[in-house]
Every structure is written in structure tokens, then in C-alpha cells.
Amino acid sequence: MAKLNWLKADLHVHTVLSPCAELEMGPKNVVAAALEQNLDILGITDHNAWANVAAVAELAYTEGIAVIPGIEVQTREEVHILCYFPNLDQLALAGEQIYARLPPIGNKPDIFGDQIIVDAKENIIGYEETMLLNSVDLSLEEVRDLTYNYGGIIIPAHVDRPAFSLIANLGFVPPNLQPAALEISSRLDEITAVKEFPILKEHTLITSSDAHRLDDFNTLRSTFFYVAAPTLAELALACAGRKNRKVVIAPQDTVF
């Protein structure tokens, strides 16, 4: 039987590719912040794009941190949904199709900030010119299907927030959506979250930093997975509560 361990995760982190993220969110600083927080698993999830995931993954690997390849999609309903994939190839295949559905509107760097693509050594290898902070022309269900087609899972982001969230925009979790979990802000513990939003009771919850700057990594609570390995397949089992895997939200300095 596989040996199970508690692994600390932050599955929602932006890089300099996201126009709203600070310039300090390059791979070196992101990985250093993840080390400081004793993270075992890092999810890199830029808005509607994924070009910096490989750079962070390469660097994180050398520090013993696993990167789960991801993307934070803004759907046609203006809902933010985190899509995670088993590897970079699957992310790129799905990501191409998501990115292709962005409206053809250019970024205005002086207003929104640059959308910078880097390598693991933080050389700038390009600038994303399409404005990433827009809704793609895909419904929630279409994003779900696309993600599932490439072996991924979906986790609606920051569902307790008053904007760009499943609960704020739709008021409910569509029964056929079947998310692996729902993400709540780290200001909430699970009991308070369920009190505020009773609908959450039926779902597995995780929390993440949604870091856009380095200070954001320092959250009140973190997500801990009891799994055999830091892989997407294991995280999915934990979210489903299968094969003795589990996931809990606990104060960020919890040692199991």
C-alpha cells in the first residue's frame, strides 16, 4: 500500500504574466516564497494563460516543490474557475483552446501593467499582447468539458467573494458542474464559510492565497492534502475522499 503523507499546498498563485500581479512575482521570488511557507505543492494559475508555468515548475523542482500546472479561466459568466492538468502538455493543449476564445483586445501596459513571459532564469522571453483580464467565450460547462478532456479537474475560485465567483454570479453550484472542490478565501474557516454560504456544505473545500504579490503568500490558513504523491491524480482522490486520501483546511503553521 502506498504510504500517505500530509503535504501543504497553495494551488492558486499568479506570476508576472497576470497584468494584476506585481513585478516581484517572477519564478525565483515565487519559489522562494513557497519555500518560506513550507509548501510542498504549488499551483500556478495565471488569468487565461499559462506561459510561465514551465519556468516556475523547473525552478520549483530543484527545491523539491511540485508544481501543479493550472490556469484561472474567466468564463462567459464572468466566473473565475481554476483548471488543473496532470502535466504541462495537457495544460498547453487545453490552454490554447481557452486562450483562443479571448476577445481580440490588446493589453494597455500603462494602465494594467505588462504581461511578462519569462524563463526559469527570469530572462524576459516575451510580452503577452492580448489583454488577459477578460472573459473567454466559453461557458462554465464548456470549460469543464475541455478540462476533463485533457485529464484535468476544476475548482471554482474564491467562491465567497462578491465578484467573479460562482456563488456571487450564479448564486448556486450547477448540479452537473461536478467540481473537485470549491476554493474559499483564507480569511474564512470551514465552519464560518458554511454558515455564511450553506451551499458549501455539500462540497469539498480548499483555500489558497490567490497571491498577486509576495506578501499574499502569508495566509491565515492553508490546504493540507493527505496523499501518496504531489500529483494531480492524488489531489483528485483527496478531494473525493477516496482510498484514504483526504484534504483539510487548517491554520497555516499546522504540523501534522
Is 157 near Zn ion (CB under 5 A)? yes
Q: Using alpha carbons only, give the angle 154, 236, 198 rounded to the nearest 5 degrees.
A: 65
Closer Cβ to Zn ion, 22 or 210, answer by number:
210
Is 10 near Zn ion (CB under 5 A)? no
Is 210 near Zn ion (CB under 5 A)? yes
**Across the strands, what pairs with 71?**
83
Closer Cβ to Zn ion, 47 or 246, answer by number:
47
Using the contact rule CB under 5 A, the part of the chain among 33-41, 150-158, 213-221, 231-239 near Zn ion is 150-158
Is 203 near Zn ion (CB under 5 A)? no
How far is residue 219's CA from residue 202's CA, in Å, rounded to a whole number?
25
How far is residue 81's CA from residue 183's CA, in Å, rounded to a whole number?
9
34-93 residues in contact with Zn ion (CB under 5 A) are: 72, 80
Q: Which of 236, 54, 84, 87 is nearest to 146 (CA)?
A: 84
- Rounded to a whole number of angstroms, the minimum distance from the CB of residue 12 to Zn ion is 6
3-class DSSP state of 10: strand
Tell me the residue number closest to Zn ion, measured at CB.
80
Instruction: Note whether 118 and 54 are within 8 A (CB).
Output: no
Is 160 near Zn ion (CB under 5 A)? no
DSSP track, 41-69: EEEE--BT--TTHHHHHHHHHHTT-EEEE
- Rounded to a whole number of angstroms, the minimum distance from the CB of residue 184 to Zn ion is 13
Radius of gyration of the chain (CA): 17
Q: How many residues bind Zn ion (CB under 5 A)?
A: 4
Closer Cβ to Zn ion, 82 or 237, answer by number:
82
Using the contact rule CB under 5 A, the part of the chain among 22-30, 134-142, 204-212, 224-232 near Zn ion is 204-212
Which stretches of the chain bind Zn ion, using CB under 5 A?
72, 80, 157, 210
